[in-house]
Structure 1
Amino acid sequence: MQLQPHIIIPNLINAFNKGDFLLVINTVKQNAAIARADAVVPQLYGSAMRKIGRLDDAAKIFEKGLKLFPQSSDLMNSYGNLLLDKGQTHKAILWFTKALKVKPGAFDYKYNLARAFLVSKRYKDAEMQCHDLLKREPIKSTVLLLIASILIENKRDAEAERYLKKLLETEPKNVKALNNLGNIKRRNNQFNEAILLYKKALSTGQSTAELFQNLAAAFALNGLLDEAFATYKEGLTTFPDSVGLHKEYAHLAWVQNVEAPFALLEKNLSLDKPDLILAYTELMIRVEEFDKAKVWLEKLVEAKLPSYQIAAAASLSNTLRELGDFDRALATVSVNASKPTVETLPLLIEKSYALLSLKRYKEAVKALELVCRIAPFNQGYWTLLSTAYKACGNEQKYSELCNYQKFVEVTPLFESEGSNLSFIEALEAHLNTLHNNERHPIGQSLRNGSQTFENLLEAEHDLIKALKIAIEDRATSFLSALLSQKKHPFLSRLHPDVNFIGSWSVRLRKKGFHKSHYHSEGWLSGVLYVDVPSEVEQNGNGWLVFGRPDITGVTMVEDFAIKPKKGNLVLFPSYMWHGTNPILTDEQRLTVAFDIVPANESQG
């Protein structure tokens, strides 16, 4: 039967616009030759695959289409959007740029290029694209939202606020603008203003799971816990499949010691909702309820859902390892970890853990060296590699990564002892007002203590501002004395300026301690001692210890330890195993901790 592109193509466009993506896919499959008739066909076909989550299939369709229609700028643009979804930002930028060369005035291409620049943290480039777009359409809502997001990421909140208010002047019920403005207020501890903005957004009748999530968080941060719990529950009634709402509710219920904190999530579990299963099992692993995680992960692996196989297998391997079934943990991931890619990296990591637990250290070294080549910026992988080197007795390699004498810095926060202690006393009084939780957060190293929410060093409080400046001064001074070294995970990234990517305060109570851990997203980590119990003078109680891994089946003693002293700051590479010995008395141990990255990496 002869193809009739003039009939089929309009039908494809109509089906796609209505959201009937399967009709688009099936029609093209049944009329394969139509893909060669016009560039719009592979564009629609690939975009439909993208919409149903079959990203790899979509990529193949776009690539084939671009061979047939190498000058189709719309096809280039659609392929760029897919690459953004796949996390291949640099390739996305390349294709958006190619599309703009073919059609320089295309508004959507330039907008998507700005989005890609934002994702890759090239903030100046992203902002420049937005300014070009705003010259053409000064009140275009999508562009105003985008430039505000760029400025927020770049910590230029006041400028972002002006763009959002400009948008709200013409669209007072724009939910995204109200939400994002609320996020700015929340980040700056203006919780009442944030709450009003989130409520206004919800009152438009265009509620989203994110809005309920943000409103509940603002209530919790403002100490209004009853309102927070009520908001989470209302949100979950409206959006029962929201992973974010379920996880945040469970975290708050846990730290507030609510009975059955995971009950709402457990009621919604089914194989029809694999995202909820992964969220639930992640929580169970983190609260060490491994048997509960194992039941659902085995079901998910058996279901063989293509988009979830890697995550499910990696988590099941983790669970089995924690239960002491090392051989089965290894078998669960070994086959699919044999030819690793970025996508299958979680399987290779779990394989490496299992090899360490089985004491097959040489194989672990080989696997982890490959992991570190694939993802060199993840500090946790270097942690595991250092453990494998240590286990193999390779002291040279271990020392290159974990030279404690060279890479661990202990210094007073301020040089003047009097100024240091007076500042620390004031800081202690302030921090004690922030610790209101009943127990430690889920998934953190902390046991028997509390941890503050949000990013502590972003607060507008005068003491916190001064603290941030002082820590930054000490960090840059320490880093300036080090020499750059290629291929070293710490020394290869030296930069004169730094940025904080996370900061928090921890208060340990009786029998409180930190399990050994590392900070995979950081580069330089640190801790400031604000209040120290007198028992640190005895038996190493409360001391900070390095080099003692927390891997089931692996037992190693620490290599280095530091006695806490009030007012002292300790700096060290984020990949070093570190934890604390328990404190045994009723005195508290109060600290501020943080992660830092080089400014050139976090600013783009």
Structure 2
Amino acid sequence: MDRRRANQDLQLSVNLFKKGDYEQSLSLLLPLFSIAPREPNILLYIASCYRQLKEFEKSVEFFEKLTLLHKHPGYFCSYANMLAEIKLSVKSKKLLIEAIKIDSNYFDSHYNLARLEQSLASYERAASSYLKAHRLNSSHVDACIGYGQCLIKLDKASEAIVHYKAFLNRYPNSSNVLYSLACIYESTNDEENYKVILLKCIKLSPSNRLFLLKYASLLVSLKQVDKATNVLTHLLQDNPFDHRIHDELFKLLWSNGEPEPFQFYHSACDIAPVNSLVLELVKKLVKNNELVLALGKIEPFLSVNVYHTEALLIKGHIERELGGFSNSLETLKSIRQQDLSLASVLNERCITHLCLNQFAIATKLAEELTLLYPNNQGGRALLATCLKLNGEADRYNQLYDYQHLVKVISIPSLIQSKFNENLKVELEKLHLSRRHPLDQSLRMGTQTEGQLFNTDLALVLQLKEQIDTEIKVFLHELSLSEKQFMDRKLTENFSYSGSWSVILKQGGHHKNHFHSEGTFSASYYVTVPDAVHCGGQGWLKLGQPELSRWIHLEPDYCIKPEAGCLVIFPSYMWHGTNPLLEKSERVTVALDVKVSEVKKSRIDLKAKSLCCY
């Protein structure tokens, strides 16, 4: 093949790649590779074609050839991004660091390293890399936004605001940076700035779906529900199967107490009964205990999407809750082999075996889940239930160690003043919904949106300072006891991964649940009704699982709430409340605390590896 023909084929293969015809592109590239096995563009596009075709081993083979022969940082970045895609983050990071060594002024190396660190929740390192990338290319929007996002994760919202404003001084029409700034104002409850900036975004991009979704949310907070509904329904006309729009519209209708909140879901799914939107509808129907209707929706979907893992999981769940335990197991067994070790699959199989009183089998599945997914709080909660039902009291008591891992703290400085009464008034203004969230444990009550502790409300911040102090004391005492927490040693460093307020009214309660986002969770009681003195109304229950309607266990431990009292417990511990039967109201502030772990030394890690069988 002459050089001219080879160049023509290479250009044609590149055009085919850009059009997404990867197999056809490869058919031209591979013969070229046999003629010119060192040519970097040929190696790069062959590796990239295999990546797009999900043939990752072959992609690695050609990326290895490319980076061995050609020390250009761009090639190292492409290889690193492919490895990051298949979760080989350690090698991906090494390649990006090598790219920076090759050329420290190459923007993409710093930017891609920042993205990788951010995906690994290493926000300090990610922020550092984003800042270097931003200095190399100060007009790059995503580097600017990424740096701000990391600052927010590091509880430096004010620095993120300064950073975004500096960018906008130079590029005032950057709608995505404006939107990021609006989101910070929203999270800190700076309503006026949030509204002004968001309206600027919409003026710049009046048809932007993301901006309009946020605008609808703003209208809800301003109690302009009808206007918000109009915004969302108009969006839906242009995007009839958009999951996010449907979800936002449903939540608006549900929280506003509309009698037919599922109407738009049903209309769309009647038109396209095998569209993936059906899964979202079915999950909501299950949450609302409409199991027969949900089963009727999932079966037509599965008739076409026969091996759809999530759909099979949902069907197995519904069958079990309708009493068809054997049918449920058969459905779950039909899930593809490569998906049988997914946390959600192990979880559903385990619960079904519990319903069949096959406690030993269930315990093995729960152990497998916690081994494969050590940070999965649901796995720990499930294992605790299995151990309890399987009669393994010692292991259960180690996991649910009420003596060391649960603490009830009275805060006198908040009780002796009118602090709680005034705090209640402040919190009530933040409760905008008329109905409990469908996807939460709360029933017959309301819950605030967003991060409560990010507000600038004086009394909320005062409460946060008091809770900070109590949690530091709790973690210090835990460290002094040298008590291992799930085979881990915790530091005394923590951050809040969630904070919100709940108001329970007559009939109000929390279904038994666990929290997936924290190490420890806590509830501060702002006001407590007299009803708590009668029949255990509103009491906090610990240790009572709520996995299935067919599993019934009593709580291990109950705590009578008192105003000015803080209760701390592990996030994986089952907890709920007894209903308030009388006409009354209970106001709390709830939170999740993420605690850092002591990093194991190289010697510890080596010893651990030597002990593996």
TM-score w.r.t. length of structure 2: 0.88
Amino acid of the structure 2 residue aligned with 1:179: Y
SS at match of 2:504: strand
What do you get for the CA RMSD once the two structures are aligned? 2.9
Encode CA deviations 1:450-501: one digit per residue, 9 max, x unaligned.
1111111211100010111111211121121114899965562522121111
Between the two proteins, what is the percent identity of the paired residues? Answer: 27
Cα deviation digits, residues 376-397 of structure 1 (max 9, x gap): 1111110000000000000001
Indicate the SS of the match to 2:501: strand
Q: Which residue of 1 aligns with 2:176?
A: 176
Structure 1 residues 45 and 356: alpha-carbon distance in aligned structure 2, compared to 1, 3 A threshold: farther
Return the alpha-carbon distance in structure 2 between the equivalents of residues 480 and 487 of structure 1. Answer: 11
CA distance in 2 between counterparts of 1:485 and 1:84 reads 40
Distance in 1 separating the partners of 2:570 and 2:393: 18
Note the alpha carbon deviations across 1:221-272, whole angstroms, 9 max, x for none: 2333233222222332333333222212211211111132122233223669
Counterpart of 2:313 in 1: which secondary structure?
A: helix
| Aligned counterparts of 2:573 and 2:557: Cα–Cα separation in 1 | 11
CA displacement 1:47-85 (0-9 Å, x = unmatched): 56766xx6xx15334223224434355454234334444
Instruction: Measure the CA separation in 1 of the matches of 2:90 and 2:230.
Output: 43
What is the CA–CA distance in structure 1 between the aligned matches of 2:264 and 2:2, rounded to whole Å?
A: 56
More displaced, 362-371 or 223-232?
A: 223-232
Counterpart check, 1:584 vs 2:581: yes
Task: Give, as a single letter, the amino acid of the residue that structure 2 aligns with 1:380.
Answer: G
Q: How does 1:300-319 map to 2 (within 5 A)?
A: 300-304=301-305, 309-319=308-318
Cα 1:489–1:319 change in 2 (3 A) is farther
SS in 1 for 2:538: coil
Provide the rounded CA distance (Å) in 2 between the counterparts of 1:533 and 1:361. Answer: 40
> How is 1:55-74 mapped onto 2 (pairs within 5 angstroms)?
57-71=54-68, 73-74=73-74
Q: Displacement, 1:196? A: 2.8
Corresponding residue for residue 412 of structure 1: 410
Report the CA distance between 1:561 and its aligned residue. 0.5
SS at match of 1:324: coil
1:338-377 counterparts in 2 under 5 A? 344-377=342-375
**Residues 415 and 199 of structure 1: CA distance in aligned 2, closer, same or farther (over 3 Å):** closer
Structure 1 gaps of 5+ residues are: none
Mapping for residues 251-330 of structure 1, pairs under 5 Å: 251-269=251-269, 274-304=275-305, 309-330=308-329
Residues 75 and 352 of structure 1: CA distance in aligned 2, closer, same or farther (over 3 Å): farther
Q: Look up the match of 2:10.
A: 9
Q: CA 1:389/1:62 → structure 2, altered by over 3 Å: closer, same or farther? A: same
DSSP-derived class of the 1:495 partner: strand
> In structure 2, do the counterparts of structure 1 residues 50 and 378 end up closer, same or farther at CA, with 3 Å as the change threshold?
same
SS in 2 for 1:443: coil
The more displaced of 377-386 and 266-275 is: 266-275
| Deviation larger for 285-294 or 577-586 | 285-294
1:598 matched to which residue of 2? 595
Aligned to 1:183, the other structure's residue is in SS state: helix
2:601 maps to none
Q: Which amino acid aligns with 1:436?
A: L
Alignment of 1:426-465 (within 5 A): 426-465=422-461
327-336 or 507-516: which moved more? Answer: 327-336
1: distance between equivalents of 2:537 and 2:586? 11
Report the Cα distance in structure 1 between the residues aligned to 2:255 and 2:526, rounded to whole angstroms. Answer: 23
Q: Does 1:386 align with 2:384?
A: yes
Name the structure 2 match of 1:222: 222
Gaps of 5+ in 2: 599-613
1:461 and 1:43 map into 2 onto residues whose CA distance is 54
Equivalent pairs, count:
589
The one-letter code of the counterpart of 2:327 is R
1:560 and 2:561 matched: no
CA distance 1:182–1:287, change in 2 (3 Å): same
Write the distance in 2 (CA, Å) between the matches of 1:489 and 1:305: 42
User: What is the identity, as a one-letter code, of the residue corresponding to 2:392?
Assistant: N
Q: Between 374-383 and 119-128, report the one with greater CA deviation.
A: 119-128
1:401 aligned residue: 399
Q: Post-superposition shift, 1:142?
A: 3.2
Moved more, 209-218 or 59-68: 59-68
Aligned residue for 1:118, secondary structure, equals helix
Give the deviation of 1:28 after TM superposition: 1.4
1:368 to partner: Cα distance:
0.9
8 Å contact 2:384–2:399 — kept in the other structure? yes
Shift of 1:44: 3.9
Q: Output the CA distance in 1 between the equivalents of 2:95 and 2:301.
A: 36
- What secondary structure sits across from 1:268 in the alignment? helix
Distance in structure 2 (CA, Å) of the matches to 1:510 and 1:286: 21
Distance, in Å, in 2 between the alignment partners of 1:354 and 1:487 is 34
Q: 2: distance between equivalents of 1:487 and 1:359? A: 33
